[in-house]
């Protein structure tokens, strides 16, 4: 799939191994999610448009570049997406943050929306949606459909683990959205969990369950 980038940098792969380990504590899990989000954000922002500006260094005038237009908006899908916010803000501290609350109904696996608050000027911004897990793809598809109603300049989706089923579904529903994931896993199990995966990302970040 040409709209999918696997960000398999050695540092990311090493941290991902620690993240998958069932013996990793919530405290360490939270730090790892954040660190992986920072590293992935570096890749996902590689093609941001630049404009030339002129500044004065202490010794000369220099023509140099800054990111064009308004800064990014990041939109975490609650709850687990919140774990990636600090990490991406380390790279783009002036970004705006929107929130979309969705949970998967455990029976139907269909996403249920319970919250949505997006920056008022999101139509002037490039958006990166963040959620550690892309399983069936239902949550990401619904979140992006909702964000598209507000006409942002572009939308990217950044997750840590993806299942083939979720990648396929998201690419078909939103072929214009570039997807970044740290690893593409094998499959989903009967409960919609990614195999081998890392378990329930929200529960491991927040220490619930
Ligand atoms: C998880 C995860 C994604 C979703 C992925 O959230 O953070 O949002 O599942 O599954 P999907 O691709 O099949 O939709 P969950 O519903 O467990 O909610 P939580 O983050 O509040 O725990
Ligand atoms: N959501 C999770 O948190 N983990 C999975 O494996 C699938 C969906």
Atom in ligand 2 nearest the alpha carbon of residue 194:
6
C-beta of residue 147 within 8 angstroms of C-beta of residue 75: yes
State yes or no: pLDDT of 206 exceeds 90. yes
Please give the model's pTM, rounded to 2 decimal places. 0.96
Q: At what angle do helices 10-20 and 26-44 cross, to 10 degrees?
A: 150
State yes or no: pLDDT of 1 exceeds 90. no
* Test site for ligand 1: of 26, 132, 202, 208, most ligand atoms within 8 A of the Cβ: 202
Ligand 2 pocket residue status of 159, Cβ below 6 Å? no
Each residue's pLDDT tens digit, 59-96: 999 999 999 988 899 999 999 999 999 999 999 999 99
The answer for residues whose C-beta is within 8 angstroms of residue 6's C-beta and 6 or more apart is 181, 182, 183, 184
Rounded Cα gap, residues 39 and 34, in angstroms: 9
Between strands 194-195 and 187-188, the pairing is: antiparallel
Q: How far is the CA of 199 from the centre of ligand 2 (A)?
A: 6
Ligand 2 pocket residue status of 200, Cβ below 6 Å? yes
Which protein residue has the closest C-alpha to ligand 2 atom 4? 200
* Test site for ligand 2: of 136, 187, 201, most ligand atoms within 8 A of the Cβ: 201
State yes or no: pLDDT of 209 exceeds 90. no
Each residue's pLDDT tens digit, 131-163: 999 999 999 999 999 999 999 999 999 999 999
C-beta of residue 14 within 8 angstroms of C-beta of residue 32: no
Give the range among 101-110, 114-123, 154-163, 166-175 with minimum mean pLDDT. Answer: 101-110
């Amino acid at each position: 799939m040409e709209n999918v980038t696997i960000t398999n940098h050695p540092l990311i792969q090493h941290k991902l191994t620690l993240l998958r380990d069932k013996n990793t504590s919530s405290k360490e899990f939270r730090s790892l999610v954040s660190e992986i989000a920072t590293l992935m954000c570096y890749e996902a922002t590689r093609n941001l448009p630049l404009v030339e500006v002129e500044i004065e260094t202490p010794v000369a005038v220099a023509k140099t570049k800054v990111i064009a237009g308004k800064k990014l908006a990041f939109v975490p899908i609650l709850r687990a997406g919140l774990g990636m916010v600090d990490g991406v803000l380390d790279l783009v501290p002036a970004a705006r943050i929107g929130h979309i609350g969705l949970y998967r109904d455990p029976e139907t696996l269909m996403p249920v929306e319970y919250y949505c608050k997006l920056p008022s000027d999101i139509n002037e911004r490039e958006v990166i949606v963040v959620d550690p897990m892309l399983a069936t793809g239902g949550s990401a598809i619904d979140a992006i459909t909702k964000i598209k109603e507000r006409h942002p300049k572009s939308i990217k989706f950044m997750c840590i683990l993806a299942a083939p089923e979720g990648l396929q579904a998201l690419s078909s529903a939103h072929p214009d959205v570039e997807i970044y994931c740290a690893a593409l896993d094998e499959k989903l199990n009967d409960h919609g969990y990614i195999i081998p995966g890392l378990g329930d990302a929200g529960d491991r970040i927040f220490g619930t369950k």
